[in-house]
Amino acid sequence: MATDPHVFHPGQIVETSGIYRCDVAEDDHSFESTDVKGHRFPPLPHGCQGGGWVLQQATAHH
């Protein structure tokens, strides 16, 4: 079974700073996370039925 290279799992290193969303979330901002390049992805929030995080919008980190 192939994995989606655009889905990032809790504990992985963030490659691109930005706003991430649970990969099966509907339009609910409680399933978003702002993550910084070089840090680790956080655990998925309670209620997220997905398996990882998907980049919604890249951001600049200074």
In this prediction the pTM is 0.82
Residue 43's domain comprises 7-58
Q: Does 1 fall in a domain?
A: no
Q: What is the mean pLDDT of the chain?
A: 87
Q: Does 44 fall in a domain?
A: yes
Q: Does 2 fall in a domain?
A: no
How deeply is 4 buried, as exposed, middle or buried, from its count of CB atoms within 10 A (0-12, 13-18, 19+)? exposed
- Alpha-carbon span 34 to 42, nearest angstrom: 10
Q: How many domains does the chain have?
A: 1
DSSP reduced 3-state for 20: strand
Q: Does 16 fall in a domain?
A: yes
How do residues 16-45 score in pLDDT, each as one tens digit?
Answer: 999 999 998 666 667 999 999 999 999 999
| Strands of 1-62, DSSP E | 7-8, 18-22, 32-35, 53-58
Q: Does 49 fall in a domain?
A: yes
